[in-house]
Amino acid sequence: MKREGRIIKSISGFYDVLDHESHELIRTRARGNFRKRKIKPIVGDMVTYEASGDLGYILEIEDRENSLVRPPIANIDQAIVVTSSVEPNFSSNLLDKILVNIEHNDIEPLIYLTKTDLLDDEHYNELKMTLNGYREASYTVFDGRDSYSREQVNDLMKHFSDKVTVFTGQSGAGKSTLLNHIDPELGLATAEISQTLNRGKHTTRQVSLFDIEGGLVADTPGFSSLELIEIDKDELPNLFPEFVKYSNECQFRGCHHVNEPNCKVKEMVENGTIMKSRYDNYLYFLNEINSYKKKY
């Protein structure tokens, strides 16, 4: 009998499927024809399968809404962008690059600031003002004075319900620490991997989805692709939500907000409604995308 579910773990050619109806976990294998068609099931895939005895077989994989290569995971709803205030220092350029990549993958980003305890009040308040600009640009931001206060971690977890969540951010930003505060089992999974890698063994990173607060959370500290190679110059303006908000008031349809006359976005940058740092980063990325095109 055909059943439907979602892959929540893959290990050595076996796929653990969480059944939509019974909520049972069924271990499955992929039918041989997937290999012939060069399709590999990944964690997060919605599948049709049949179960006979102890082992089921995946028959079909539904179309993916989105997918990442590192880690291999599909149908992601949101990404927690873990951003450190110091060590490594806060970088609006890097944050915006991560946000653009996430928006490009049709994933909703949430920004989570860490290491605020290492800042004095003056620097913390400056950074908070910057992050308020992201709030005004319609992002959800967690920037409490105590990065890992129970209250703030609980507020973050309220966003997990009915969603698939992954974590991202630069190395050393505190992703594993945050995962640990959410659920020690997640933190343990990441620490174990780090130790194994540090011993110089080449291990295949297995991704699992954990059930937390009525949603599924990936136990991996995030994806690392930060090239803008897949994004073209016409898509880029649509990946800045505050540009989208005003672009229909620009004189030209498809305005790139650079040299065009009567550009509402540039007007909003000049009057301080849109953050200048965001606009400067946009121009920087546009330049980067144009230089890729020349290379290829």
User: Which has the closest alpha carbon to 6: 193, 211, 223?
Assistant: 211
117 has binding-site annotation: yes
Do the beta carbons of residue 151 and residue 144 sit within 8 Å? yes
175 has binding-site annotation: yes
38 has binding-site annotation: no
174 has binding-site annotation: yes
Let me know if 48 is exposed, middle or buried by CB neighbors in 10 A (0-12, 13-18, 19+): middle
Handedness of CA 16, 19, 22, 23 (dihedral sign): positive
Do the beta carbons of residue 77 and residue 48 sit within 8 Å? no
Q: What is the CA radius of gyration of the chain?
A: 21
User: Which has the closest alpha carbon to 178: 81, 109, 256, 244?
Assistant: 81
245 has binding-site annotation: no
- Spell out the residues 6+ positions from residue 287 whose beta carbon is closer than 8 angstroms to its own: none
- Spell out the residues 6+ positions from residue 265 whose beta carbon is closer than 8 angstroms to its own: 237, 243, 246, 247, 250, 255, 257, 274, 279
Q: Output helix, strand, coil percentages for the chain, rounded to the nearest 5.
A: 35, 25, 40
116 has binding-site annotation: yes
Do the beta carbons of residue 164 and residue 44 sit within 8 Å? yes
Helices (H), 199-275: 241-247, 264-270
Return the DSSP state at 271. T
74 has binding-site annotation: no
128 has binding-site annotation: no
Distance (Å, whole) CA 34 – CA 251 = 50
222 has binding-site annotation: no
Do the beta carbons of residue 278 and residue 96 sit within 8 Å? yes
233 has binding-site annotation: no
171 has binding-site annotation: yes
257 has binding-site annotation: yes
16 has binding-site annotation: no
Binding residues for Zn(2+), as ranges, are 250, 255, 257, 263
Binding residues, as ranges, are 114-117, 169-177, 250, 255, 257, 263
Binding residues for GTP, as ranges, are 114-117, 169-177
